[in-house]
C-alpha cells in the first residue's frame, strides 16, 4: 500500500542550507538564545515533524489571506502578504521573508490605517499574547515602518480566532535588536549563552520542541 506519510515528507523536503554568522532571521527574535546559538554552531537538518507542523500553519495563513481578500469583507483590504524584512546594523543583518505576515488596510468610521497582522496557528487560543510573538511583531513593524499591529491566533481544529492589538514601541524594538547584538557577540566569541528557556518559566515550553536539548543538558 502506498505510504502517504512518505509522500508528504518527500513533498516537504527542502535542501538544507547552513546559516551564516552575521546574517540572522527575524523569526529568531523570540527564540531561546542558546538554541539559536546552537543552530549556527551545530546545524541540523529540519525536524520532519516540525516541518509538517509549519506547513499546516502555512495553510492556515493562506486561508486568512483569502478571508481578507474576500469581496464579502469590504472593511479590510489585503495590501501585501509574505513580507520580506531587512534590518541592517554595522555588525550584522536581520533579514528574511515572513510567511505568516500580512499588511492590511482597515477602514472604520471613514478612517483607514495600515496594520501589520501576524498570523499564528495554535492548538488552543491563548488568553494573552505570547511574549515571543510580541517581540517578533515589534521587530516586523519597525522593519516595515508601520505603527499598528495585530497578533491573530487561529485555532487549528475549529478556525476560532483571538486577536491582540499592539503599537510599535521604538524602545522595545531597540531592545530586540540589542538581543541580536548579544547573539552576534556570543557567536563571534564562540561562547555559549545561558540556557535562557530553562531559566525562564514563560519560555520553559520551548525546551520540549528543542532539537538541541541533549547538547544543552550536557553543558
Ligand atoms: S533545551 Fe531549552 S534552554 Fe536548552 S537550548 Fe533548547 S530551548 Fe534553550
CA atoms within 13 A on the CB side of 145: 1
pLDDT on residue 82: 84
- Domain assignments of the chain as residue spans, ordered by start: 40-188
E-strand ranges in 20-160 read: 23-24, 76-88, 93-108, 111-122, 148-155
Distance of CA 70 from the midpoint of ligand 1 (Å)? 41
Which atom of ligand 1 lies nearest, measured to the CA of 197? 3
pLDDT on residue 45: 79
Our answer on whether the CB atom of 33 is closer than 6 Å to any ligand 1 atom is no
Distance of CA 47 from the midpoint of ligand 1 (Å)? 16
pLDDT on residue 17: 77
Spatial CB neighbours of 131, under 8 Å, sequence gap ≥ 6: 30, 202, 203
Main-chain phi, psi angles of 15, to 5 degrees: -65, 130
Contact yes or no for 186/219 (Cβ under 8 A): no
> Per-block average pLDDT, block size 10, for the chain (219 residues)?
91 83 93 96 84 89 93 92 92 92 89 94 94 92 95 96 97 96 97 96 91 93
Our answer on whether the CB atom of 140 is closer than 6 Å to any ligand 1 atom is no
CA distance 164 to 169: 15
pLDDT on residue 137: 94
Residue 213: closest CA among 27, 38, 40, 41: 38
Q: Return the C-alpha cell found at 105.
A: 488596510
Fold for domain 40-188? Lambda Exonuclease; Chain A (3.90.320)
Which atom of ligand 1 lies nearest, measured to the CA of 32? 8
pLDDT on residue 171: 96
Amino acid at each position: 500500500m502506498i505510504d502517504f506519510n512518505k509522500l508528504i515528507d518527500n513533498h516537504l523536503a527542502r535542501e538544507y542550507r547552513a546559516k551564516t554568522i552575521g546574517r540572522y532571521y527575524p523569526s529568531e527574535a523570540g527564540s531561546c538564545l542558546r538554541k539559536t546559538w546552537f543552530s549556527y554552531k551545530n546545524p541540523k537538518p529540519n525536524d520532519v515533524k516540525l516541518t509538517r507542523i509549519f506547513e499546516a500553519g502555512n495553510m492556515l495563513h493562506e486561508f486568512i489571506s483569502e478571508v481578507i481578500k474576500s469581496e464579502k469583507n469590504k472593511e479590510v483590504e489585503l495590501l501585501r502578504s509574505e513580507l520580506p524584512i531587512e534590518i541592517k546594523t554595522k555588525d550584522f543583518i536581520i533579514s528574511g521573508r515572513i510567511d505568516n505576515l500580512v499588511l492590511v488596510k482597515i477602514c472604520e468610521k471613514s478612517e483607514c490605517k495600515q496594520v501589520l497582522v501576524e498570523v499564528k496557528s495554535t492548538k488552543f487560543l491563548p488568553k494573552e499574547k505570547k511574549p515571543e510573538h510580541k517581540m517578533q511583531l515589534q521587530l516586523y513593524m519597525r522593519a516595515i515602518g508601520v505603527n499598528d499591529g495585530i497578533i491573530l491566533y487561529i485555532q487549528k481544529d475549529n478556525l476560532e480566532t483571538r486577536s491582540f492589538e499592539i503599537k510599535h514601541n521604538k524602545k522595545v524594538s531597540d531592545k530586540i535588536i540589542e538581543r541580536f547584538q548579544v547573539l552576534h557577540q556570543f557567536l563571534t566569541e564562540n561562547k555559549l549563552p545561558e540556557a535562557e528557556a530553562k531559566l525562564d518559566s514563560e519560555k520553559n515550553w520551548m525546551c520540549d520542541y528543542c532539537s538541541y536539548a541533549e547538547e544543552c543538558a550536557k553543558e
